Chains A and B, each alone.
Chain A
Amino acid sequence: MEYPPPVRRIEPERAPNVVDPATRGPIPEPIRRAVSELGRERLRIDEVSIHYEGGARPAVNAVTLPVRQGEVLALIGPSGCGKTTLLRSLNRLVELTPGARREGRILLDGESVDELETTRLRRRVSMVFQQPNPFPMSIFDNVAYAIREQALRRPGKAALAPRVESALRRAGLWDEVADDLDRPALRLSGGQQQRLCIARALAVEPDVLLMDEPCSALDPISTQVIEDLIHELRDGLAIVIVTHNLAQARRVGDHVAFMYLGDLVEYGPAAEVFDRPRADRTREYVQGAFG
């Protein structure tokens, strides 16, 4: 079954939803997988604009984008183009910035993110940051912290251990840390710390994983490991990655969105955006004329 590739430019037509959000319920696993192969839309960014107080122009200007299950959406563009701001609006983290204001709708499985409590939303749309930022506690506790609900009776270590292990395995860190989970997380290497942060973000079993330049603080070998990891993780969720590394966007991205000064200039399959860009701006950027 061929799914039409959503090639879109500044005025994108709406990609059809395979599953009507209104009828969404518990989907049986085989169907779920089949649907995910088709690229069910998990997040829809709909005419989203974000203004910062005192900014002359919006940081993000009327951007519309789909984020599909099982794909990696790479946001590229020069510094200050609004890609990180857009990413941070998807889990409403941008609201923590004083003076930031958002217009437009962001739908998670058809439901507006503004109607979800931030604590619920951020467990469904979790995030990995540019700087590896494990908490100053043990490796185990870093992952367990993510899982522990805010309850008076906190689950014990034994109850959490299987979920911690599975999160560390998915992040490809288990074999390196299994023998000493009580080690302080800050003793790990930079690349390991970042994979721990990925494990932490996966432990909440999110639908969407946001990554804000996750490799920019890492060496090439650690970067390679994380990129491989992104490839493996893609099947189970939708990933949005911000990167200023074009080669990386091409390696990991299924779709690429190029932003410039807050505008979405071009959106399409990675190969198309890089090899046959439609907009002049995109061509100049991907060919390294500016950035």
Chain B
Amino acid sequence: MSTVDARSGPTRPPGRGRRERLLGELRLWRPLDLLGLAAAWFVGLLLCAIAAALVLYMGYRGVQYLSLDLLISRPEPSPDQSQSGGILDPILGTLLIIAIGTVIAVPIAVGAALWIVEYGRPRWLARVVESAIEVIAGAPSIAIAIFGLAFFQMDFMAWASFAADGGGGVFGRSFIAAGSVMSLIALPSIFAATREALQSVPGHVREASYALGKTRWATIRRVLLPTVRPDIATGTALGMGRIAGDTAIIVLLLGATLQLQSGSDVPGLGVLQGTGSTLTSYVYNNSPSGEGNAPEKAYAAAFVLMVLIVGLNLLVAWIGRRRAGSELPR
């Protein structure tokens, strides 16, 4: 019988037999299961539609208003959209905040993960550290922001921003302040990625290093860190995306001034002590609900921000693909 089927198979239109079989199978399903299947398909397609709508709408709006001129000219305070300049300062501000936040977060997160996985003693302290990082990961960024503001407004933190003339209060808003608080936003994803990667390195790989007379530190530096480097990179790229997308901390801690404004006359440091804006605060201020009311530029800035974050996510995927095939034996 089966030989007859096999011979008559190719005469059918390809794919039709499979679909018929599938429909036949579905007829055997219980109604509730069919309903569940339909719901799953609906939700899946809906999410795809939302994502597509978001990207297409932002792309349409963004490309419509985006121009090279917009990207390289500085924003100007003006109620008239034709006079209000470009988004150079917010772009620079975003990059600067990402840089500061990452530079602070990576060593702390990687160090914490190394300590938890490779040492982890005393155990209660390791558990406390892990919970603390979970709390930070779960805290709303506005709460982190207001805590950061309280901290950076203390007198001894005046170096990080600037104090009002005549011995007044500390301003507490600067790139240093916003960047260091932003490191808390990036920290959990870098920590989690590093910790998981270290945990998945089999014990015998560490032992192979110890068995060659290497110390624990040499093993960490020469074997473990190079092994988990792609995971650290993945976590860092995700953390960068989270920094780039956060608004609350920028609004509270960067001052959200339109242009970069130095906090002192010291070259370089002055910018870090000064205030500015990022793409998120620019979008917030210029959206139809904000003060600037330059929705076209808000769309353009939001598009740039989205390209940046999608780019970071593609980077993550690329790192993941590149390492495939060079996996350790598990």
Q: Complex Cα distance A107/B325, Å?
A: 43
Q: How many whole Å from A186's CB to the nearest CB in chain B?
A: 5
Q: Which of B210, B223, B226, B328 contacts A122 (CB 8 A)?
A: B210
Judge whether A184 and B212 touch: CB under 8 Å: no
Bound Cα distance from A129 to B208, whole angstroms: 7
Interface core residue of A119, A133, A146 (most chain B CB under 10 Å): A133
What is the total of A-B residue contacts with beta carbons within 8 Å? Answer: 75
Q: Does A135 contact B209, Cβ atoms closer than 8 Å?
A: yes
In the bound complex, how far is the Cα of B215 from the Cα of A122, in angstroms? 11
Residues of A at under 8 Å CB distance from B? 91, 93, 96, 118-123, 126-127, 129-133, 135-137, 145-146, 150, 184, 186-187, 197, 200-201, 204
Binds A, one of B2-10, B42-50, B99-107, B199-207: B199-207
- A263 vs B213: C-alpha distance in the bound complex, in angstroms? 29
The answer, yes or no, to whether B222 is at the interface (CB within 8 Å) is: yes
Tell yes or no: B214 within 8 A of A by CB: yes
Contact B227 A122 (CB under 8 A): no
Is B25 interfacial (CB-CB < 8 Å)?
Answer: no
Q: What chain A residues lie within 8 Å of B167 (beta carbons)? A: none
B210 near A145 with CB under 8 A, answer no
CB-based closest 5 A-B pairs? A122-B213, A123-B213, A127-B211, A119-B213, A146-B212
Whole-angstrom CA separation of A133 from B223 in the bound complex = 11
**How far is the CB of A188 from the nearest CB of chain B, in Å?**
11
Are A131 and B326 interface neighbours, CB within 8 A?
no
For residue A201, which residues in chain B have a CB less than 8 angstroms away from its CB?
211-212
Interface: B154 (CB within 8 A): no
Residues in A neighbouring B327, C-beta threshold 8 A: 186
**Which B residues touch A120, using CB under 8 A?**
213
A167 to B223, CA, bound (A): 20
> A135 touching B326 by the CB < 8 A rule?
no
Extra 16 A-B pairs, beta carbons < 8 Å, given A129-B207, A130-B204, A135-B208:
A96-B207, A96-B210, A122-B210, A126-B213, A131-B329, A133-B202, A135-B205, A135-B223, A136-B227, A136-B328, A145-B212, A145-B214, A146-B212, A186-B329, A187-B326, A201-B212
Contact call A150/B208, Cβ cutoff below 8 A: no
- Evaluate contact between A197 and B208: CB separation under 8 angstroms: yes
- Tell me if A186 and B204 are in contact (CB < 8 A): no
- Min CB distance A42 to B, Å, is 17
List the A side residues contacting B132 at CB < 8 Å. none
A91-B211, A123-B213, A146-B212 known; A136 vs B326 contact (CB < 8 Å): yes
Within 8 A of A (CB), among B259-306: none
- Name 10 interchain pairs, CB-CB below 8 A, sorted by A: A96-B210, A122-B212, A122-B213, A130-B204, A131-B329, A132-B329, A135-B226, A136-B226, A136-B328, A186-B329
Which residue on A lies nearest to B325, using beta carbons?
A: A187
Assembled-state Cα–Cα distance A122/B218 (Å): 14
- The residue on A at minimum CB distance from B222 is A145
- Provided the pairs A129-B204, A129-B208, A137-B226 are in contact, do residues A119 and B214 lie with their beta carbons within 8 angstroms? yes
Sort chain B's interface into a size bin: 20 to 34
Q: Is A121 a contact of B213 with CB atoms below 8 Å?
A: yes
B222 touches A133 (CB 8 A): no
**B326 contacts across to A, CB distance below 8 A:** 136, 184, 186-187
Interface centre among B205, B207, B213 (most CB of A within 10 A): B213
Q: Closest CB-CB distance, A191 to chain B, in whole Å?
A: 13
Q: How far is the CB of A46 from chain B (nearest CB, A)?
A: 22
Q: In chain B between 310 and 329, which residues have their CB closer than 8 angstroms to a CB of chain A? A: 325-329
Task: Knowing A119-B213, A123-B213, A186-B327 are in contact, say whether A133-B208 is a contact too (CB < 8 A).
Answer: yes
In chain B, what residue has the closest Cβ to A184? B326
Q: Is the CB of B204 within 8 A of A133?
A: yes
Smallest CB separation, A86 vs chain B (Å): 15
CA A59 to CA B218, docked complex, whole Å: 31
Q: Give A134 to B327 CA distance when docked, in angstroms.
A: 11
* Bound CA–CA A137/B218 (angstroms): 15
What is the CA–CA distance of A204 and B210 in the complex, to the nearest angstrom?
A: 13
Within 8 A of A (CB), among B85-101: none
Task: Give chain B nearest CB distance to A147 CB in angstroms.
Answer: 9
With a cutoff of 8 Å between Cβ atoms, the chain B residues found around residue A130 in the complex are: 204
Question: Chain A contacts of B218 at CB under 8 A?
Answer: 150
Q: Is the CB of B204 within 8 A of A131?
A: yes
Shortest A117–chain B CB gap in Å is: 9
Q: Return chain A residues, CB-CB under 8 Å to B204.
A: 129-131, 133
A200 lies within 8 A of B207 (CB): no
For the complex formed, measure the closest distance between the CB of A70 and the CB atoms of chain B, giving whole angstroms: 22
CA A127 – CA B218 in complex, angstroms?
Answer: 18
Cα A200 to Cα B218 in complex, Å, equals 16
Contact indicator B212/A186 (Cβ below 8 Å):
no
- Give Cα A27 to B325, complex, Å: 48
User: Which of A118, A120, A136, A200 gathers the greatest number of chain B CB atoms within 10 Å?
Assistant: A136
Query: How many angstroms from the CA of A229 to the CA of B218 in the assembled complex?
Result: 30
Expressed in whole angstroms, the minimum distance between the Cβ of B46 and any Cβ of chain A is 42
Q: Are B328 and A126 in contact (CB under 8 A)?
A: no
CB-nearest residue of chain B to A120: B213
Best-surrounded residue of A96, A130, A184 (most CB of chain B within 10 A) = A96
